[in-house]
């Protein structure tokens, strides 16, 4: 395996691991990492014969598949977060509710 291919593969593995960590912490950066890793993985998976070993291309394809699933999970998480935010009272509503509660107590 060439040094450039090895470096690209190492970078892809590191990005995928960072993306998994970000997803565990529900960080928005996971989406950006997944998008970038997917592009890098697809590039590695499509290297011409002789440039990368079949095992390297197989690993790249596996990581691309993982990245695609993580992107889908990020999309789902974003939709769920938007739904949760929509259910939260707006700041002005919270102030009105607090004022109402205080007037009820007084």
39 touches 17 (CB < 8 A): no
Predicted local distance difference test score (pLDDT) of residue 97: 60
Within 10 angstroms of residue 94's Cβ, the number of other Cβ atoms is: 11
Predicted local distance difference test score (pLDDT) of residue 59: 72
Q: What tokens does 22 get?
A: 């970000």
The 10 Å CB-count burial string (b at 16+, else e) for 51-62 is ebeeebbebbee
**Tokens 């205080």 belong to residue:** 102
Structural domain harbouring 63: 3-105
Predicted local distance difference test score (pLDDT) of residue 24: 60
Question: What's the half-sphere exposure (Cβ side, CA atoms, 13 Å) at 97?
Answer: 7
* CATH value at residue 55: 1.20.58
Distance CA 18, CA 9 (A): 14
Q: How many domains does the chain have?
A: 1
The 10 Å CB-count burial string (b at 16+, else e) for 3-42 is eebeebbeebeebbebbeebbeeeeeebbebbeebbebbb
Averaged over successive runs of 10 residues, the pLDDT of the chain (106 residues) comes to 69 70 61 65 66 71 76 73 69 60 59
Predicted local distance difference test score (pLDDT) of residue 14: 73
Model-wide pTM > 0.75: no
């Amino acid at each position: 395996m060439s040094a450039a291919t090895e470096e690209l593969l190492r970078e892809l593995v590191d990005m995928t691991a960072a993306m998994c960590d970000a997803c565990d912490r529900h960080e928005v950066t996971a989406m950006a990492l997944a998008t970038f890793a997917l592009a890098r993985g697809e590039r590695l998976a499509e290297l011409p014969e002789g440039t990368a070993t079949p095992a390297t291309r197989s690993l790249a394809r596996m990581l691309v598949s993982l990245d695609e699933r993580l992107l889908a999970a990020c999309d789902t998480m974003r939709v769920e977060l938007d739904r949760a935010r929509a259910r939260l009272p707006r700041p002005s509503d919270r102030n009105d509710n607090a004022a109402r509660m205080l007037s009820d107590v007084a």
